[in-house]
Amino acid sequence: MIVPMQKVTLFISTRHREAALLQLRKLGLLHIQHLKAPISEDVSQLEAKLNTLEKSLLIIENEARGVADRTDKKDDIEKLVDEILALSAEAQQISDIVDEKQNLLAWFERWGKISPTDIEELNKKGIFLRLYNTDKSVLKDLPENLHVEIISADKNRVLLALISESEDTRLEIKEEFIPREDYPSVIAELDRLTKRSKEIDKRMTKLAQYADQIQDYKQDLEKRLEFATVKSGMRATDEICYLQGYCPENKVERLTQAAANEGWGYLSEEPDETDNPPTLLKLNKLVSLIRPVFDFLGTVPGYREYDVSMYFLIFFALFVAMIIGDAGYGVIFLLISMFAHRKSVKKGQPLALAVKLFYVLSMGTIAWGTITGNWFGAVQIAGLPFFKALTIPQIATFPELFPGMNIDPQRKVMFICFVIAVVQLGLANIMNFVNELPQLKSIAHLGWFAVIVGLFFLVLNLVLGMAMPVFAVPLIIGGLTAVILFVNQEKGTSILRGIAKGVGGAFTTFLDAVSSFSNIISYIRLFAVGMATVAIASSFNQIAAPLIHGYTFPAAALILLIGHGLNIVMGLLSVVVHGIRLNMLEFSGQLGMEWTGYEYKPFQEKIENITEGEIK
């Protein structure tokens, strides 16, 4: 569930502002809502320091790390950071200069080791040299009265030297200028830069040993920045300053008791319609497994939206099982989960939610792959007596293993996909109906439920050729009528006016019905992607099969490893594209959710994301 919030305003003596903020941070209950833009010199300075620290950590993140002597002096750490940034800038400058010198070496390789001194000596004797790197086609157009030497030529390009007794004599083509440095000085400079670059690399390796200390300092600065931001975002008069934020409803008593003890004034009230409180989800241990998916997507339901975590988890697990669809792959996922679990135990760390979720998804995939008889896309494995006995023939991946069956398993799986569609989308309509009770508007959601059920039968008729019940069309028409009559029945609006608005928006309602039809159809992607996974696995099996005996066995093993590895990766990508989409777009869209929320992050000692169960 989404935890109800109270909007709390605290009034504090201006003289005791910093002490009060320290105490408020210890409580860790109030999500601060800045009353004015948090702009101050302290904030700007801390942001600048944090920026330099983050840059330094990025620079040394790929360096080998050892253990350095501990230093807790902030000045020393800031000097280390400054040195890292300075060395990084110098290294980049050296890299640019080295590129220039390498270009000069390439020039000398083309033209020879000409030096500026040689050119000056020739000029003193009245001999002027100009060089050209041009297309070979210009040779036929060269003036006959000029002395032009061909230095070298290839298929398309030619190097020319114009020798004349006048400084103004030139060819009408782009000239290549002679470097101001000679070959020995370029070599010497490159050697010096290479040595300096090695010195920088060595020093950077040494500085990388301080990465953990820099990270600790960064976290300290983040706390100081948050404190300065909260302080700067308060409104103040000469004697009193005040701040505002949101506190979970069941924790307000603790906050107000602390305010009374500290001598702060306070006001606690329900957020009004114009407020946008943060979202704090209260999840049980099972439903919290879906949190890694929400974190990956970066999505949070709005404060006044639904908490669909439980439904999201159930349907997501089902979608993953059907999209991957291979019990063999599910076993691989289970082994990976067990390996990650064992590593966590060895390190004495609690089992991550992502690993727990992977356990659930892998077991779901094994279950679906088992009942459909799909093990690495191999009919030979599916045909083994043990696995065949576990297969449900009506949805079997390889129907040829059940010759006496007169049902098409593929059509049956498609039927299951459409049933999932009507269940999930219908659930959304029922949730909307319950949420709108006892308003007349709630009946519109029952209308949409009727439309979804009717469209379900229409889809079965059009896609699978199943007979459509006689009540399907009247159900759709009746549902649309209910939507038109009741969708605009708001409080304070007469029934007739609401009906008039509904009739005026009838065309939009019709388009929404068409959209609902396409939403149901879109669930067939579960079948299509699952079959594609089987087809790819079977194809690689067939390629490897002739090579599996004799000296070609390593080649067969390599083909199977690459093929199934690629198939697993594509399956996981399909989960992101299709499995998440059905929850985030079709289901959430039917609910009217926009996922516009932001997380509840209280002003506290330790900056982290929390759930209701973690608030002490």
The 3-class secondary structure across 304-349, one letter per residue, is: CCCCCHHHHHHHHHHHHHHHHCCHHHHHHHHHHHHHHHHHHHHCCC
Q: Are 325 and 530 in contact (CB under 8 A)?
A: yes
**Number of neighbouring beta carbons within 10 Å of residue 21:** 21
Q: Are 381 and 395 in contact (CB under 8 A)?
A: no
Give 35: exposed, middle or buried? Use CB within 10 Å, 0-12, 13-18, 19+. middle
Per the DSSP assignment, residues forming a β-bridge with 8 are 245, 268
Check residue 9 and give left, alpha or beta (phi > 0: left; psi -120 to 50: alpha).
Answer: beta
Any residues with CB less than 8 A from the CB of 287 and at least 6 apart, and which?
Answer: 309, 310, 313
Q: CA-based Rg of the chain, rounded to a whole angstrom? A: 36
Mutual angle of helices 211-232 and 74-111, in 10-degree steps: 120
Enter the tokens of residue 51.
């920026």
Write the CA distances from 420 to 318, 426, 516, 533, 586, integer angstroms: 9, 10, 14, 20, 12
Distance CA 397, CA 384 (A): 14
- The one-letter code for the residue type at 589 is G
Q: Are 16 and 236 in contact (CB under 8 A)?
A: no
The 3-class secondary structure across 544-580, one letter per residue, is: HHHHCCHHHHHHHHHHHHHHHHHHHHHHHHHHHHHHH
Q: Are 180 and 34 in contact (CB under 8 A)?
A: no
Q: From edge to edge, which strands make up the β-sheet containing 147-153?
A: 128-135, 157-164, 147-153
- The one-letter code for the residue type at 142 is L
SS3 268: strand
Residues in the chain: 616
Per domain, the residue ranges of the chain are: 115-178, 287-407+525-591, 412-522
pLDDT in tens, 535-571: 999 999 999 988 888 888 999 999 999 999 999 999 9
pLDDT of residue 613: 46
Per the DSSP assignment, residues forming a β-bridge with 5 are 248
**Number of neighbouring beta carbons within 10 Å of residue 294:** 16
Q: Are 55 and 85 in contact (CB under 8 A)?
A: yes
* Low-confidence stretches of the chain (pLDDT beneath 70): 62-74, 606-616
φ and ψ at residue 77, rounded to 5 degrees = -65, -40
Pairing state between β 128-135 and 265-269: unpaired
SS3 3: coil
φ and ψ at residue 172, rounded to 5 degrees = -85, 45
φ and ψ at residue 384, rounded to 5 degrees = -60, 140
Q: H or E stretch including 148? A: strand 147-153
pLDDT of residue 612: 47
Q: Are 246 and 6 in contact (CB under 8 A)?
A: yes
pLDDT of residue 177: 87
pLDDT in tens, 369-396: 999 999 999 999 999 999 999 999 999 9
Q: Sign of dihedral through CA atoms 100, 105, 106, 108? A: positive
Pairing state between β 157-164 and 128-135: antiparallel
Q: What is the maximum alpha-carbon separation in the chain?
A: 108
Distance CA 243, CA 129 (A): 78
Mutual angle of helices 442-464 and 506-522, in 10-degree steps: 50
Continuous H helices in 347-408 = 353-372, 379-382, 385-390
Per the DSSP assignment, residues forming a β-bridge with 131 are 161, 176
Enter the tokens of residue 432.
């909307």
